[in-house]
């Protein structure tokens, strides 16, 4: 496997993990902002 | 695979951070505030604006109510002489035999609505007749 493809794939994996984390954080923020009795 | 991860750990961490920042910027909860020139008309703003009502505010409503009650006590038909709060007057010209002059006279005497004319007692009609 060429090195550049390897690096690209790894960074893509990292990027998607970061995106998922951000999604979880946004979900948390929205849930906190919702009014509950 | 573990080897690969270990090898690219700095790059992966950097990508995670960048992905997190980008994702957070895209997904963060935002409040959109729209500014308009006109304030929206809410239900309570129009609740008291009945055009057929006799009063525009609490004071004149109270006055109308007091007239009603006192008129009942002294036996005088007060209510129908209250001038309504209608902005437009009834058009007396539409009555057969009433011209602009007579309509103006009636308006000058405080008649603005058809029902005021309709509820006149014979004595009142006589009085008005004399004045005309």
* Chain segment B22-49, per-residue pLDDT in tens: 999 998 888 777 777 777 777 777 765 5
pTM above 0.90, yes or no: no
Band of the pLDDT at A25, cuts 50, 70, 90?
very high
Q: Looking at CA atoms only, how far is residue B10 from chain A in angstroms?
A: 10
Q: In A, which residues are within 8 Å of B11 by CB distance? A: 7, 10-11, 14
Q: What is the pLDDT of residue B92?
A: 81
Residue B75, Ramachandran bin (φ over 0: left; ψ between -120 and 50: alpha; else beta): left
Q: What is the pLDDT of residue B7?
A: 86
Q: What is this model's ipTM?
A: 0.83
List Cα–Cα distances, B86 to A4, B62, B66, in angstroms.
82, 18, 20
The list of chain B residues with pLDDT below 70 reads: 47-56, 77-89
**C-alpha to C-alpha distance for A11 and A13, rounded to whole angstroms:** 5
């Amino acid at each position: 496997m060429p090195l550049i493809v390897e690096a690209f794939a790894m960074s893509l994996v990292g990027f998607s993990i970061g995106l998922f984390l951000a999604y979880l954080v946004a979900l948390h923020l929205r849930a906190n902002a919702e009014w509950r009795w | 695979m573990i080897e690969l991860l270990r090898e690219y750990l700095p790059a992966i961490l950097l990508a995670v951070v960048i992905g997190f920042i980008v994702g957070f910027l895209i997904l963060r909860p935002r409040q959109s505030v729209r500014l308009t020139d006109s304030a929206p008309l809410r239900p309570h703003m129009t609740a008291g604006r009945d055009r057929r009502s006799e009063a525009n505010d609490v004071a004149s409503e109270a006055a109308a109510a007091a007239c009603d009650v006192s008129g009942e006590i002294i036996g005088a038909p007060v209510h129908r002489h209250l001038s309504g709060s209608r902005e437009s007057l009834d058009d007396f010209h539409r009555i057969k035999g009433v011209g602009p002059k007579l309509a103006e006279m009636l308006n000058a005497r405080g008649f603005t609505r058809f029902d005021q004319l309709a509820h006149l007692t014979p004595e009142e009609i006589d009085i008005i007749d004399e004045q005309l």
